[in-house]
């Protein structure tokens, strides 16, 4: 990992950031758990920033009741432009805490959440981005969007960043936000690349020299509501699509990220011979994830060719960026045609042939 640019730090005030859209019932339960966690520790040196991302249900009333009853500062804002990253950026402009704690509107804090979080940050000599354990809140929900590892881990070049820390339980020190900046609004729920706005922030922090650490004792319980295998697979595929776009975005500074796509492609080949699927519990084959990765790559390439608001990527697929992409896929997983018109189609066709074989005549 790059050397950290920071010195000793101290963290005091916490800002809990919750972005919500049309989940009034789940939000009420999330607020109740947050209040209980704060009351257990008599935690008053916190604020809660709630962003309504265009709800049309009872969400505004739920937010108002919570704000009126809370013994700590509650800041509310409406962000009408749909997209989780946009909502989180709206919160960043209002949050005043030293630690910014991101929690989803369908997640419930463990009663000891704040004590455990403060303990981890008490003796840091440099800013650390941290995330914790994500458990199921309702056993009727499918086992997806969870993080159940029981050991402390730090992100490195060999570890897939997707899912290493979940955005529903993620803490970022303010000084890191000052350096890294806003969330990339092309990523995340409701945006072009569907997911991975949290993973993008982890990668950007890592490349800046900020440690990214998973701590299993800082716990939230996720009430995600996906109760069919099809709904669970849809979520996992969306994550894989976003990761493909994300790896392509960071190709110049972090070409090693493409290894994770290659490993999934190799897993697809091994699976044909009896190897393990990507997710045994949900019976998700590696091929399904690999195709989603490749489609995410193709979507980013296409958007990059078109230009527009891609401030973090090249305007055209040319020069050293093209050479890096070709080298990253030199193992034969995919190639990029120099023609703008044929580029995405070529990528998709070759990836499809290698994943599922030639089309029938």
What percentage of the chain has pLDDT greater than the value 70? 82
Q: What would the mean pLDDT of 35-40 be, rounded to a whole number?
A: 95
Instruction: Assess whether pLDDT exceeds 90 at residue 9.
Output: no
- The per-residue pLDDT for range 105-146, each reduced to its tens digit, is 999 999 999 999 999 999 899 999 999 999 999 999 999 999
**Average pLDDT of the residues in 168-196:** 97
* Predicted TM-score of the model (pTM): 0.84
**Position 332 confidence tier, pLDDT thresholds 50, 70, 90:** very low
pLDDT at 309: 44
- Confidence label for 43 from pLDDT (cuts 50, 70 and 90): confident
Q: Output the pLDDT for position 74.
A: 98
Is 175's pLDDT higher than 90?
A: yes
Least confident range from 2-16, 153-167, 205-219: namely: 2-16
Query: What does the pLDDT read at residue 2?
Result: 65
Per-residue pLDDT band for 323 (boundaries 50, 70, 90) equals: low
> Whose structure tokens read 């091994």?
270
Region 269-296: what's the mean pLDDT?
96
How many whole angstroms separate alpha carbon 53 and alpha carbon 20? Answer: 6
Pairing of strands 99-103, 169-173: antiparallel
Quickly state the pLDDT bin for 12 (edges 50, 70, 90): confident
pLDDT band for position 8 (cuts 50, 70, 90): low
pLDDT tier at 18, thresholds 50, 70, 90: very high
pLDDT recorded at residue 5? 62
Please give the pLDDT value at position 310: 46
In the predicted structure, residue 352 carries a pLDDT above the cut 50: no
Location of each CATH 3.90.550.10 domain in the chain: 14-227
Tell me what the pLDDT averaged over the chain comes to: 87
The answer on pLDDT for 196 being more than 70 is yes
| List of residues 6+ apart from 317 with CB closer than 8 A | 301, 304, 305, 325, 336, 338, 340, 343
**8-state DSSP, 155:** -
pLDDT at 42: 86
- Is 215 a residue whose pLDDT tops 50? yes
Say whether 221 sits in a helix, a strand or coil: strand
336 has pLDDT over 50: no
- What pLDDT shows up at residue 306? 85
Q: Is 243 left (phi over 0), alpha (psi -120 to 50) or beta?
A: alpha
How do residues 48-107 score in pLDDT, each as one tens digit?
999 999 999 999 999 999 999 999 999 999 999 999 999 999 999 999 999 999 999 999
For the chain, count helices (H), then strands (E). 11, 9
Report yes or no: 213 and 147 within 8 Å, Cβ to Cβ: no
Confidence check: pLDDT of 326 > 60 = no
Give the pLDDT band of residue 10 (cuts 50, 70, 90). Answer: low
Q: Which residue has the higher pLDDT, 319 or 271?
A: 271
How far is C-alpha 337 from the geometric centre of its chain's CA atoms? Answer: 30
Contacts 24+ apart (CB under 8 A), 115-121: 115/40, 115/41, 116/215, 116/217, 116/218, 116/219, 117/14, 117/171, 117/218, 118/11, 118/14, 120/215, 120/218, 121/11, 121/171, 121/173
Provide the pLDDT confidence category of residue 28 given band limits of 50, 70 and 90: very high
* Predicted local confidence at residue 20, as pLDDT: 98
Considering the domain 14-227 in this protein, what is its CATH number? 3.90.550.10
Check the CA dihedral 267-270-272-277 and report its sign: negative
């Amino acid at each position: 990992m790059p050397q950290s640019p920071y010195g000793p730090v101290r963290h005091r005030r916490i800002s809990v950031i919750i972005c919500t859209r049309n989940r009034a019932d789940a939000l009420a339960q999330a607020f109740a758990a947050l209040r209980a966690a704060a009351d257990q520790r008599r935690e008053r040196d916190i604020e809660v920033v709630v962003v309504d991302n265009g709800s049309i249900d009872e969400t505004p009333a739920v937010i108002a009741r919570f704000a009126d009853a809370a013994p700590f500062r509650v800041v509310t804002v409406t962000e009408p432009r749909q997209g989780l990253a946009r909502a989180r950026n709206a919160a960043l402009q209002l949050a005043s805490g030293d630690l910014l704690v991101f929690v989803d509107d369908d997640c419930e804090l463990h009663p000891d959440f704040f004590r455990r979080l403060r303990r981890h940050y008490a003796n840091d000599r440099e800013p650390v981005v941290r995330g914790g354990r994500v458990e199921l809140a309702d056993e009727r929900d499918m086992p997806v969007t969870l993080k159940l590892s029981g050991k402390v881990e730090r992100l490195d070049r060999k570890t897939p960043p997707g899912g290493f820390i979940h955005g529903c339980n993620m803490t970022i020190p303010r000084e890191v936000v000052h350096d890294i900046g806003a969330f990339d609004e092309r990523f995340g729920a409701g945006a072009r690349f569907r997911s991975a706005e949290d993973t993008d922030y982890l990668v950007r922090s890592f490349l800046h020299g900020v440690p990214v650490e998973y701590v299993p004792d800082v716990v939230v319980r996720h009430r995600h509501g996906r109760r069919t295998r099809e709904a669970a697979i849809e979520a996992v595929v969306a994550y894989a699509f976003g990761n493909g776009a994300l790896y392509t975005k960071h190709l110049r500074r972090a070409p090693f990220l493409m290894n994770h796509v290659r490993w999934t492609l190799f897993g697809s080949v091994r699976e044909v011979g009896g190897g393990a699927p990507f997710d045994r519990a949900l019976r998700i084959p590696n091929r399904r994830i690999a195709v989603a990765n490749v489609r995410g790559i193709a979507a980013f390439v296409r958007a990059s060719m078109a230009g527009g608001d891609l401030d973090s990527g090249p305007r055209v697929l040319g020069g050293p960026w093209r050479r890096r992409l070709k080298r990253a896929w030199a193992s034969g997983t995919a190639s990029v045609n120099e023609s703008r018109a044929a580029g995405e189609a070529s990528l998709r066709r070759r990836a499809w042939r290698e994943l599922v074989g030639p089309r029938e005549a």
